[in-house]
Amino acid sequence: MNRTSLLDAFRSPMAAAALSFLAVVAAISAFAPLLAPCDPEAVDMGNRLAPFSLSHPLGTDHLGRDVLSRLLHGGRHTLLLALAASAATMAIGLALGIVSGYFGGFADDAIQWFVQLFQGLPGLSFMLAIAGTLGPGAASLFIAVVITSWADFSRIVRGETLKLREEHYVEAVRAMGSGHGRIMLRHLMPNLLGPIVVLFTVRIGRTMLAIASLSFLGLGLQPPLPDWGVMVSDARTYFRSYPHLMILPGMCIAAVSLAINLLGDALRDGWDARTERNGEEWR
Amino acid sequence: MSGTKPLLEIRNLHIRFRQRAGGEPLTVVDGVSLSVSGRETFGLIGESGSGKSVLGMSILRLLPGSAVVEGTILYDGDDLMQLPKKRLRRLRGGSIGLVPQNPATSLNPVLRIGRQVIEPLRLHRRLSRQQAAAQLLELLERLGLPEPERTSRQYPWQLSGGMKQRVLTAIGIAGRPRLLIADEPTKGLDAIVRKQVVDLLANAARESGAAMLVITHDLQVAAKLCDRVGVIYAGQLVEAGPAAELFARPLHPYTAALLAAAPNKELKPIPGLSPAPGLRPQGCAFHPRCPHAMDRCRRERPVSAAGEQAPGREVRCWLYE
Amino acid sequence: MNEGVNRPTAEVVRVTSRYAAARRNRPAEPVLKQVSLAVHPLRTVGLVGESGCGKSTLGRVMLKLLPVEAGQVRFEGRDITGLSLREMRPLRRRMQIVFQHPDSSFNPRAVLLDSLVEPTAIHRSMSRSDAADRARQLLDVVGLHPELLSRYPHQVSGGQLQRMALVRILMLEPKFIVLDEPTSMLDVSVQAQLVECLRRVQQEFGIAYLFISHDLDLIRRVSDDIAVMQGGRIVEQGTPEQIWEAPREAYTRALVEAFRF
């Protein structure tokens, strides 16, 4: 039976392109301070809303700040936050999902009660509420994202765990006298990783959009931070005359979001192909 | 068998599968020729990886897109490989019936049994709703399903493995096929159910006068059901002939070894492993495991010698040059 | 009582078990009803019956992988029915199981060597390098090439995987092995290979087998004694000759009939 690895997903040109693009974005975001021609927060009221020029290839914004530099810096906070929040969600969801699925019984019932409670929360609205209560900023964004996402995640992990729990190799290890911890860590977790990685990728994309949206509404990251969401928000007033101030950061958000989704799709295809029993007919 | 033209004739069939990772396509069926006459039951015997199921599926062009099929498959004179899709669809489930493998997954889990069995009755026999409903019950009863009325309203998950197999058989014969292809009809079934399914198929074929191609790894099933059998190893037909004769006096060393390995015979192992597609040895595919292997077997692929040993028997082995 | 020679290695005495798996909506009907069976050292008891008769459950009950409601489970003369997980642990080394599906018997993400040394890692009975050596020795006994150790389960054939499963068990020096339909997913010729291997292992290591199967022909060839199960009960017991030539119960007769193809 042919078994492709998750990495085979990158044979598709779209997926490879998405991955390369994201790699470039990540590199740019990481090295922005070195790459940017100007300080993204340097105000120059004498040179506001300047057109494209050699010293400012993409012009300046309403406070005279270099647009190009701000764009280069623009992904840093959002991406980092999205990654951190998704990682935390995954960690919580994974831990609770495995415990719930593996032990069943009372622990399962208890955890699932919480899951159902949190799953019922309307995502974006709740994030708004939290951001509103705790005050805007990265910290409350982080909390908001984790609170609204962990439940869904843990449910999926639980489902997969329930399936895996019945596999012969788990029974074999139990028959050998293994303790619960070993089974969960060495036998369940690695086999859950496949679908989890796919979910994780998709989740980062959604989180990114949520953060950008909240920042746009003024409830997330705040000015003067050079962040794409903030930039879109700042440019609202000047949209008629200077549309590029809003369109450029908007395109960045859209492009990265799209790339992440394509990546997630490719990984999912790779995973599906891997578990697809196309070899069955040959037997 | 009486000199009439065969109903199904397969000539020099080669089936290869393109690989996801590219490279040389894997050969699964390697030049098989066989024929089935009307009213005859032909058994295709082979182990996993021999290519028998792929061959069966290829007749109705049910292979995945990665399959490359070369050769001729004649059904009642028409080349099935060249048939336009529309005519092929009419044949499927109608003139050629299929009883697929794996009852657990071959039935639609969200449709009731009755609905699934009625489909070929309406589609291929063009019966009205009332006629089809009546035929449905009659069919289920004939196949030994208790309480046909109740069963037809049930869902697949409510039935046992044996009952599901009967339902699949019902679907297969509902269209009154002239050729029935049964793919591993007894796989995974218990002994008692296996016996019932074998009787079931034998009766179904006899009553409808259909020809049957039975694909199986179970020697006893083949012995009981089939008039003629062919043994397939590594994608090639290594021996064929009348069932009783072949089992009593196997010619090819693989056939002999296979018979000896059965638990009701000597339970004698065959050393080595069946070659995976793509890893087939040079010369005769069986030579690494053959107790009679000669130098020639390592170098040259044996050709089919038909009718020389006995009428109606063919064998692919240098022992019989 | 004559302890030692004729003491059964594994035994159940009038056990009743209600659950086949830890699910909540099980029917009230017990899966095992008052079943008694004994397996003696160096002997093979064949357990035969249709699917759903409870034979797999009985095998697992004897290994205490499933709970019993009533009756006794005994091992090497000792009543182990009430033992806790912790108390069972040292005993688990001596009682093991080979499953029906070779493909899912091993962790798909682990290299076979890791899976094979896992039992000794769990019991901390030998260092990893010693365990690896022992694994290689045992591979030789079952007729497999050590090169297979660096492969993943999906890269190895079904018959080879079953032999690997046997090696994994042998690492712990068991005295009792439950073979749950070990060959039903294998081809006829591979089945014969595995049976021969099992025989060799039994002689060399002095193990008692419970061989579960629905194939009466196979059971007849491999067993010293046969127990026929139906609907959660053992309906008849006897030697292979007795069962085949002179079955007493109606069900046994029907079964034998089905095999006199």
* Arithmetic mean of pLDDT over chain C: 88
A91 is a domain residue: yes
Which residue in the set C189, C216, C259 is minimally distant from B258, CB to CB? Answer: C189
- Average pLDDT (C27-50) is 87
Torsion of CA A40, A41, A46, A48, to 10 degrees: 60
**pLDDT at residue C50 is higher than 60:** yes
pLDDT of residue A280: 37
A3, A6, A281: best to mutate for the B interface, most B CBs within 10 A: A281
Q: How many CA atoms lie within 13 A of C222 on its CB side?
A: 37
Question: Tell me, what's the pLDDT at A97?
Answer: 92
- Give, rounded to a whole angstrom, the gap between the first and last alpha carbons of chain C: 45
Give the C-alpha separation, C199 to C188, whole Å.
Answer: 17
For residue A154, give its domain range.
Answer: 65-274
Q: Which residue of C has its CA nearest to B46?
A: C187
CA distance C240 to chain A (A): 30
Name the residue among B224, B267, B274 with its Cβ closest to that of C261. B224
pLDDT, position A278: 37
State how beta strands B236-242 and B314-315 pair: antiparallel
State the average pLDDT for chain A: 82
Report which secondary-structure segment, H or E, holds B89: helix B85-91
Tokens 């040079």 appear where? Answer: B282
CB-based contacts of B224, cutoff 8 Å, min separation 6? B198, B202, C261
- B62 to chain A, closest Cα gap in Å: 11
- Residue B60: phi and psi, rounded to 5, are -100, 20
Interface predicted TM-score (ipTM) of this complex, two decimals? 0.80
**Whole-angstrom distance, CA of residue C65 vs CA of residue C107:** 19
Structure-token pair, residue A233: 């928000």
Pair A205, A257: CB distance under 8 Å: yes
User: What is the CATH topology of the domain spanning B8-95+179-258?
Assistant: Rossmann fold (3.40.50)
Taking the C-alpha atoms of residue C22 and residue B250, their distance in angstroms, rounded to an integer, is: 50
Q: Map residue A44 onto helix, strand or coil.
A: coil
Partner C, chain A 189-218, Cβ-Cβ below 8 Å: 190-191, 193
Phi, psi of C68 (to 5 degrees): -115, 150
Tokens of C98: 């080979």
Q: What are phi and psi of C240, to 5 degrees?
A: -55, -40
φ, ψ of residue B134 in degrees (nearest 5): -65, -45
From the list A145, A147, A23, A156, the residue with the least C-alpha distance to A100 is: A156
Which residues make Cβ contacts (< 8 Å) with residue C30, sequence separation at least 6? Answer: C16, C17, C18, C69, C232
**Pairing state between β B211-216 and B41-45:** parallel
List, for residues B272-315, the tens digit of each pLDDT value: 888 877 788 888 889 889 988 888 888 888 887 766 667 778 88
Residue C6: pLDDT over 80: no
Q: Does residue A76 register a pLDDT over 90?
A: no
Distance from CA of B279 to the nearest CA of A (A): 13
Task: Report how far residue A24's alpha carbon sits from residue A35's, in angstroms, rounded to the nearest whole number.
Answer: 13
SS3 C177: strand
Record: contact A177-C123, CB cut-off 8 A = yes
For position B88, what pLDDT does the model report? 86
pLDDT band at A7 (very low <50, low <70, confident <90, very high): low
A209 part of a folded domain: yes
Q: How many CB atoms lie within 10 A of CB B301?
A: 16
CATH code of A230's domain: 1.10.3720.10
Distance from the B3 Cα atom to the nearest Cα atom in chain C, whole angstroms = 31
What mean pLDDT comes out for the span A104-123?
87
Do B195 and C196 lie within an 8 Å CB cutoff?
no
Whether the upstream peptide bond of residue A224 has omega within 30° of 0, thus cis, is yes
- Asked whether the CA dihedral C27, C28, C34, C39 is positive or negative, the reply is positive
CB contact (8 A) between residue C216 and residue B191? yes
Structure tokens at B82: 């060249």
DSSP readout, B15-72?
Answer: EEE--TT-SSPEEEEEEEEEEE-TT-EEEEE--TTSSHHHHHHHHTT-S-TTEEEEEE
Non-local (6+) Cβ contacts of C235 within 8 A are C228, C229, C249, C251, C252
- Which residues, listed in sequence order, are joined to residue B73 by a DSSP beta bridge? B10
On the question of pLDDT at A195 being above 90, the answer is no
The arithmetic mean of pLDDT across residues A161-175, rounded, is: 88
Does A45 reside within a domain? no
Rounded CA-CA distance C208/C221 in Å is 16
Cβ-Cβ contacts under 8 Å for C124 (sequence gap 6 or more): none
**Partner C, chain B 133-192, Cβ-Cβ below 8 Å:** 160-161, 188, 190-192
- CB contact under 8 Å between B20 and A283, yes or no, is no
C122–A182 C-beta distance less than 8 A: yes
Whether the per-residue pLDDT at A17 is higher than 90: the answer is no
Maximum distance among all alpha carbons in chain A?
77
Q: What is the pTM of this model?
A: 0.79
Count of CB atoms situated within 10 Å of the CB of B281? 14
How far is residue B301's CA from residue B184's CA, in Å, rounded to a whole number?
29
Distance separating alpha carbons of residues C8 and C10, to the nearest angstrom: 6
Provide the 3-class DSSP secondary structure of residue A184: helix
Whether A111 shows a pLDDT value over 50: the answer reads yes
Interface of A with C in 130-169 (CB under 8 A): 166-169
pLDDT tens by residue, chain B, 321 residues: 445 678 899 999 999 988 877 778 888 898 899 999 888 999 999 988 788 988 988 988 888 888 889 999 999 888 888 888 888 888 887 888 888 877 777 888 888 988 888 888 888 877 888 888 888 888 888 777 888 888 888 888 888 877 888 888 888 888 888 999 999 888 777 777 788 888 888 888 888 888 999 999 888 899 999 999 999 999 999 999 999 999 999 999 999 999 999 988 888 888 888 887 778 888 888 988 998 888 888 888 888 776 666 777 888 888 886
Domain ranges of chain B: 8-95+179-258, 105-176
Asked if the C-beta of A276 comes within 8 angstroms of chain B's C-beta atoms, the answer is no
| Single-letter code of the amino acid located at A84 | A
Is residue A136 predicted with pLDDT exceeding 80? Answer: no
State the total domains in chain A: 1
User: Looking at the predicted structure, is the pLDDT value of residue C73 above 90?
Assistant: yes
**Over the stretch B109-156, which tens digit does the pLDDT of each residue have?**
888 988 888 888 888 877 888 888 888 888 888 777 888 888 888 888
* pLDDT higher than threshold 80 for residue A232: yes
Q: CA-CA distance, A101 to A161, in Å (whole number)?
A: 5
**Could you tell me if C232 lies within 8 Å of chain B, comparing CB atoms?**
no
